[in-house]
Amino acid sequence: MDSRITEQPSHYDHLESMPVGEIIAGINHESSQVADVIQHALPQIETLITTIEKKLRAGGRLFYCGCGTGGRLCVLDTIEVQNTYTSPPDMIQAIFPGGINDITNTIESKEDNTEDGWRQLMDKQVSKKDIVVGFSASGTTPFVLSTLQHCQRQGITTASVVNNPNAPISRASDIPVVLITGPEFVTGSTRMKGGTSQKMILDMISTTVMIRLGRVSGNRMINAKIINHKLLERAIRTFMERHPDFHDDDKVKALITQYGSVANTERALGLSVE
């Protein structure tokens, strides 16, 4: 039997005989335990995020590295952080087997490629200024492991998020984060609790870093790109709440549309918020 906890048999059986209510209750119960697991790892997560912040402030970049569910979540985070905080496209990037254009490709055999990740990083001129964070539920994925090992040999800071103890990928990491989420509801289906824990960590990383880099004011996304009607309406509300002297919705709409974000509009008009 595989010794990895994420591959151990589910605590539930005869799933095909369960009614819908019982299935979803079981999935929900398992998922509800993820936050408690992360709670115990907060000191390691704090160290990771603090290191990332220092790297970015010094002009370095953050590279996520992952396959399957974890890799796709990493790619998603790089896209969303640009839209939410207008971060530079190269500040946070993802390394995915075959390149991010393969994100919808279900040929998972590419995760066994031990040179592709490092080749992609070399193409992006990775350096000691950067940090590379690997995501792997198993903690053994060859694509991620070999990429981190290459980085360590070159003196590049590495970190990882895994869901098994004593994982090879943790040993290839300067900052390992270990989240023991246990067996999955469907045996081995690490897109469930494993994936949920990875998404939560990605949210913590990108959100905290963007807050620390000044891309949030109070609790508002003042740098969000205005790319649809919903975001425009939110920006108008945010601006008018921050600047009560502005009463004309149409005028504020024109200003936000012209300058592209709340933050840009405030800078253009020389406005400050107490």
Active site residues per annotation = 80, 111
CA 204 to chain centre: 7
Which DSSP state fits 134? E
* Sign of the torsion formed by the C-alpha atoms of 72, 9, 12 and 197: negative
Alpha-carbon span 69 to 103, nearest angstrom:
10
**DSSP of 151-218:** HHHTT-EEEEEESSTT-HHHHT-SEEEE----S-SSTT-TTTHHHHHHHHHHHHHHHHHHHHTT--BT
Alpha-carbon span 106 to 125, nearest angstrom:
28
Which of 4, 6, 37, 49 lies closest to 175 in space, CA to CA?
A: 49
Alpha-carbon span 11 to 114, nearest angstrom:
34
